[in-house]
């Protein structure tokens, strides 16, 4: 079976590194991109990622706009997306509904919150961190 692969998109290098460390610690392969355009080489690729974890507030194209584009693209619309931001829960729920994202995380993100969301969206059973 192929290893689970997640693409993380965030314009903040610090956030990318923290998420890379957390996701790698969970035993999952991670590809990093600083923009939606840069992420295209990981998303529109074979094999497709199992999930995209995307910041909302980015230059050029916002995360929720990128999700809308992805969900309109035949062959790629079934890739699950988790949006992330420091916005309120109500705003995140609204953006998920409007964009078609499967779920959201509110920053700052803990390893346990990330693990729970990945288990839920990917229907996995990643055990709690010791």
C-beta of residue 79 within 8 angstroms of C-beta of residue 48: yes
CA pair distance 89, 62, nearest whole angstrom: 18
| pLDDT tops 60 at residue 2 | no
CA pair distance 89, 95, nearest whole angstrom: 10
- Rg (C-alpha) for the chain, rounded Å, is 13
Read off the pLDDT of residues 47-64 as tens digits, 9 standing for 90 and up. 899 999 999 999 888 999
Beta strands across the sheet bearing 29-33 = 29-33, 5-9, 51-55, 81-85, 103-106
| pLDDT tops 90 at residue 3 | no
Nearest to 14 by CA among 34, 28, 29: 34
- pTM flag (> 0.85): yes
Instruction: Reply yes or no on domain 5-120 having CATH 3.30.420.40.
Output: no
Q: Which residue would you say has higher pLDDT here, 2 or 94?
A: 94
Nearest to 10 by CA among 77, 83, 76: 83
Lowest mean pLDDT among 5-9, 96-100, 101-105, 123-127: 123-127
| pLDDT tops 60 at residue 69 | yes
Average pLDDT (101-127) is: 93
User: Where are the chain's structural domains?
Assistant: 5-120
pLDDT at residue 122 in the model = 93
């Amino acid at each position: 079976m192929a290893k689970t692969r997640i693409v993380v998109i965030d314009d903040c290098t610090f956030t990318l590194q923290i998420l890379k460390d957390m996701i790698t610690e969970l035993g999952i392969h991670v590809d990093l991109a600083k923009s939606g355009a840069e992420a295209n080489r990981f998303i529109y690729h074979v094999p497709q990622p199992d999930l995209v974890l995307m910041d909302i507030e980015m230059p050029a194209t916002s995360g929720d706009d990128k999700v809308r584009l992805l969900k309109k693209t035949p062959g790629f619309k079934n890739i699950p997306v988790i949006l992330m931001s420091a916005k309120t829960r109500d705003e995140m729920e609204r953006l998920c509904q409007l964009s078609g994202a499967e779920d959201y995380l509110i920053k700052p993100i803990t390893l346990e919150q990330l693990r729970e969301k990945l288990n839920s969206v990917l229907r996995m059973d990643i055990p709690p961190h010791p």
